[in-house]
Amino acid sequence: MPLTGKTIAVLGGTGAEGSGLAFRWAHAGIPVLIGSRDAAKAAAAADELNALLAGRTGVTGLDNAAAAALADIVVLAVPYTAQQATALDVKSALAGKILVDVTVPLMPPKVDRVQLPGGRSAVEQLAEKLGPDTQVVAAFQNVGAHHLKDLAHRIDCDVLVCADSKAARETAIALAAAAGMVGIHAGALANAAAVEAMTSVLIAINKAYKVKASGVRITGLPDASARSGN
């Protein structure tokens, strides 16, 4: 799905990860709706992003339900404990749309240990609850929030994209490109178990090397020039 003319809603877009991605997409000229449980909080977050965008104002704050209803593509960026409830609350608004889930099933306090719920990817379990009307994609789970609002900072990682539909993966790959990253087809939604697990590995690496946002890169691909715009 080309992104031209599309509006993106980011549910939980008041948080570190969602607001960072929202900022990058708005900077690329895509209209973005910040979703929150509290419309006033969303409006304040949108004001902050519009101030950072210096004239390219393209961010609006709404409650999660209104944001999901008005968007063409919905991104979910909430803590794991809120993942299913937040998405299921807006289930009817997600029908016929792509839901890009950024959620990672971290289990505090041991967030640097892999603890997948039931040994499966959280996003696959969410997709089962949403049913076939929504195409669910997993992406951006390995992208640390830390540098997303710093445009001078090259986001030094690839975006592994998992979904059962190739077209849905391509939408998330276009979103990655709009945010200045390279998205990689990483197979079926079930493969998101490895991607969700990788986030705990990266958190452990961040701790060991005292860095804020380690990331993954895929090597050996035929089109190395895909990275030239990065």
Ligand X SMILES: NC(=O)c1ccc[n+]([C@@H]2O[C@H](COP(=O)([O-])OP(=O)(O)OC[C@H]3O[C@@H](n4cnc5c(N)ncnc54)[C@H](OP(=O)(O)O)[C@@H]3O)[C@@H](O)[C@H]2O)c1
- What are the two backbone dihedrals, phi and then psi, of residue 103, each rounded to the nearest 5 degrees? -60, 140
Distance CA 136, CA 73 (A): 10
Q: What token pair was written down for 23?
A: 């900022």
Kindly state whether residue 31 participates in binding ligand X, applying the rule CB under 6 A: no
Q: Which is nearer to ligand X, 29 or 81 (CB)?
A: 81
Tell me which residue has tokens 């393209």. 58
The answer to whether 87 and 185 have CB atoms below 8 angstroms apart is: no
Q: Which is nearer to ligand X, 12 or 58 (CB)?
A: 12
Kindly state whether residue 144 participates in binding ligand X, applying the rule CB under 6 A: yes
For the chain, what is the total number of helices (H) and then of strands (E)? 8, 8
Entry field: residues in the chain: 230
Distance CA 80, CA 151 (A): 28
Q: Footprint of ligand X on residues 145-164 (CB under 6 A)?
A: 145
Burial grade of 167 (CB within 10 A; 0-12, 13-18, 19 or more): exposed
Kindly state whether residue 204 participates in binding ligand X, applying the rule CB under 6 A: no
Q: How far is the CB of 206 from ligand X (least distance, A)?
A: 10
Distance CA 155, CA 99 (A): 23
Q: How far is the CB of 216 from ligand X (least distance, A)?
A: 12
How big is the site for ligand X, counted in residues (CB under 6 A)? Answer: 26
Q: Which is nearer to ligand X, 104 or 178 (CB)?
A: 104
Kindly state whether residue 100 participates in binding ligand X, applying the rule CB under 6 A: no
**Residue choice 44, 69, 82, 226 for contact with ligand X (CB under 6 A):** 82
Q: How far is the CB of 3 from ligand X (least distance, A)?
A: 21
Kindly state whether residue 141 participates in binding ligand X, applying the rule CB under 6 A: yes
Tell me which residue has tokens 């609002």. 149
Kindly state whether residue 41 participates in binding ligand X, applying the rule CB under 6 A: yes
Residues binding ligand X (CB under 6 A): 12, 14-18, 36-38, 41, 77-82, 86, 102-104, 106, 141, 143-145, 199
